[in-house]
Copies of this chain bind each other. A is one copy, B any other.
Amino acid sequence: MIPARPYAFAIDRLRKAGLRPTRQRLALLRLMFDGGDRHVTAEQLHAEALAAKLRVSLATVYNTLNQFTAAGLLREVVVEAGRSYFDTNTSDHHHFFFEASGRLQDIPGADLKVSDLPPPPAGTTVSRVDVIVRVKSPDNN
């Protein structure tokens, strides 16, 4: 018997996002979401996919991550020029950024408050507030 059931939820998520449930998208969706909250780059996910014997091109990984982000399944986080992290946690939260390792770690939204934010300039609305707490190891680096 074919284990068609495990994919039922993933198929549904893709359909709701208006994306055809293809082999690549299903596999990437599971790689991203089967491991709790994650912050991965396209290159990292591509390497994971190859390690899992999945054949996907890097272009498809980029396309898929961007489509998932546009659909609200992922959130893109930028902390360093020339590198994008895709975050499976789309709720309101912030990040620690480990400068030495390049790793990101969630700070739950409730744990941190931004107050006295001046009103946004006339004619604009706030689309997102990002707080990045950069930390370093006093030793390494």
A residues lining the B interface (CB < 8 Å): 76, 78-84, 96, 98-99, 105, 107, 111-118, 120-121, 123-139
Interchain residue pairs A-B with the least CB separation, the first 9: A124-B135, A81-B84, A130-B132, A128-B134, A120-B135, A127-B136, A127-B134, A113-B115, A78-B81
Distance A79 CA – B82 CA, assembled complex (angstroms): 11
Question: In the bound complex, what is the Cα–Cα distance between A118 and B113 (angstroms)?
Answer: 11
Query: CB distance A137 to B114 under 8 Å?
Result: no
B111 touching A131, Cβ below 8 Å: no
A100: min CB distance to chain B, Å = 8
Establish whether residues A131 and B129, one from each chain, have CB atoms under 8 Å apart when the complex forms: yes
Question: How many copies of this chain does the complex contain?
Answer: 2
Given the complex of chains A and B, what is the CA–CA distance between A99 and B129 in angstroms?
Answer: 12
Interface contact A127-B121, CB-CB below 8 Å: no
Q: What residues of chain B lie closer than 8 Å to A80, measured between beta carbons?
A: 78
- In contact, A98 and B124 (Cβ under 8 angstroms): yes
Q: How far is the CA of A48 from the CA of B45 in the complex (A)?
A: 40
A45 to chain B, nearest CB (A): 15
Residues of B within 8 A of A78 (CB): 78-81
Q: Which residues of B contact A99 (CB under 8 A)?
A: 127
**Interface residue from B79, B96, B125, B132 paired with A121 (Cβ < 8 Å):** B96
